[in-house]
Structure 1
Amino acid sequence: MELEGKHALVTGGGSGIGLAIARALAARGAAVTITGRRQAALDAAAGDGIVGMSMDVRDEARVVETTAAAVEARGPIQICVANAGIAEGRALHKTDLDFWRDMMATNLDGAFLTIREALQSMRETDWGRVIAVSSVAGLRGLPGAACYTASKHGMVGLIRALSEDYIGKPITFNTLCPAYVDTDIVTRNTASISARAGVSADKARAMMVSANRHNRLIAPEEVAAAALWLVSDGSESVNGQAIEIAGGQI
């Protein structure tokens, strides 16, 4: 129970990667606050050290208020996992400004606001870990998804800059960059790819599976295991890294 006494904030924690990370942290003793837009999903995920608080990461006032309430209820945040995000592909010539702004507001602005507010209390402690869940699209261009790719590259840049700002201090900043993970996002994208490419749902899913170097979808628990390593003893010198979880070199 090496994380006992530490408070972790996980955005987008009601399902998928976020929930897997929240459960892994709670199993090691952390008090975990998960956030998301759907309170029902958060309530279903709560228990065993996990508490849900509704929060839209696009809403600055809400992020400020919810983070402060979480700190008041459970103490300073020492583990921050900026995971909330959306994934949708669209050709750039078909991308309107509303689509672009919503993607950036959720993926990039949301990470910025979450980390900024978590640091308010984390900076007052003697230990902290910040993890942003980006994507392999944060390290290379993803065909047909310029907006998504740009938002995920921005997350990697944000983390790299923060790691330099705090270098030598007891807070580390790292990014996890998974390829296609077996979550509801893949399920939703199956229909989207099928419609855009004019292929069957099975073919659309196979396209995502084959994009992973080991030709299978990644389990959310595999991403959670990487997050757990970054907050465990012995990871102190891992800082400013974008860690690929892709079944091979991308």
Structure 2
Amino acid sequence: MITGGGTGIGAAIAKTLKDQGFKVSLVGRRREPLDQTAEAIGGAAVFPADVTEPEAIGRVVGEAVGANGAIDVLVNSAGLARTAPFMKTDAAMLRQLFQVNVEGVVTCAQAVLPAMLEAGFGRIVNIASTAGLKGYAYTSAYVVSKHAVVGLTRALALETAGKGVTVNAVCPGFTDTDLTAESIDRIVSLTGRSAEEARATLSETNPLKRLIRPEEVADAVQWLVGRDAGAVTGQSIVVAGGEVM
């Protein structure tokens, strides 16, 4: 089950895991991109739902099990990014980012974890960010929420250690997705720079001098959900070209 599976990193993960023979369930707020991704990868079960609504996620988990069998893998890829100077970051923005980026992960993990523990096998991968490991200016609320995801990953990994379940985070740098495109648009509107200049500014944070490809993030997830990755838990795998070491 992949949340945020209709676009960007989530869609890339869906394709990679489908190509590896997984039965894929896609979850997201909007049905249209879910359907488009399902068609593009050669078929997947589609479940429109908001990760911030526990009742909806509980229903979706039941339906996904009915469609594809037991959920062995949960990838929490749904996320929200907002930027603002610290003095313009209000409580509403902080709550919104926490609700999606942190509470959404908690809700989905709690919905699938009991069955994983009973089966003695499970893989939970949380898509965090390099913002979960370092600071960035003008993104304090986002940085706080992604640090929380990394902390949650570590805590849950210890609770599930030795029970056949692993919990890890993947932390991409700026990735070539619609979310980053929105960030570029905001830079353009606030600074008057061209889109090319804004994109170059984001790329400069990566020693490779480019944006990360969604498929590169998906490849890290593929490794973590494999049966031979059972000794890897509580880790934050960075996919950022050396930006964070």
Q: TM-score range by the shorter chain?
A: over 0.9
Residue 25 in structure 1 maps to residue 20 in structure 2: no
Which of residues 138, 149, 169 is equivalent to 1:155?
149
Cα drift, residue 73 of structure 1: 2.5
Cα drift, residue 49 of structure 1: 4.2
Q: Is the 8 A contact 1:76 1:125 kept in 2?
A: no
Of stretches 165-174 and 94-103 in structure 1, the one that deviates more from structure 2 is 94-103
Cα drift, residue 120 of structure 1: 2.8
Counterpart AA for 2:125: I
Counterpart of 1:185? 179
TM-score, with length taken from structure 2: 0.95
| CA distance, structure 2, for counterparts of residue 123 and residue 102 of structure 1 | 31
Uncovered stretches (5+) of structure 2, i.e. residues with no partner: none
Counterpart AA for 2:8: G
Residue 242 in structure 1 maps to residue 204 in structure 2: no
Which of residues 26, 44, 68 is equivalent to 1:34?
26
Counterpart of 2:4? 12
Of stretches 104-113 and 190-199 in structure 1, the one that deviates more from structure 2 is 190-199
| CA distance, structure 1, for counterparts of residue 105 and residue 190 of structure 2 | 29
Counterpart AA for 1:17: I
Structure with the bigger percentage of helix: 2
Counterpart AA for 1:28: Q
TM-score, with length taken from structure 1: 0.93
Please give the per-residue CA displacement for 1:86-128, whole angstroms capped at 9, x wherever unaligned: 1121112112222211111111111111111111322221311
Counterpart of 1:78? 72
- Considering only aligned residues, what root-mean-square deviation do their CA atoms show, in Å? 1.3
| CA distance, structure 1, for counterparts of residue 205 and residue 172 of structure 2 | 12
Which of residues 163, 166, 169 is equivalent to 1:169?
163
| CA distance, structure 2, for counterparts of residue 79 and residue 127 of structure 1 | 9
* Aligned ranges 1:81-230 → 2 under 5 Å: 81-230=75-224
State the aligned residue count: 242
| CA distance, structure 2, for counterparts of residue 70 and residue 124 of structure 1 | 18
Q: Is the 8 A contact 2:205 2:243 kept in 1?
A: no
Uncovered stretches (5+) of structure 1, i.e. residues with no partner: 1-8
Q: Percent identity?
A: 38
Q: Is the 8 A contact 1:30 1:49 kept in 2?
A: no
| CA distance, structure 2, for counterparts of residue 108 and residue 222 of structure 1 | 23
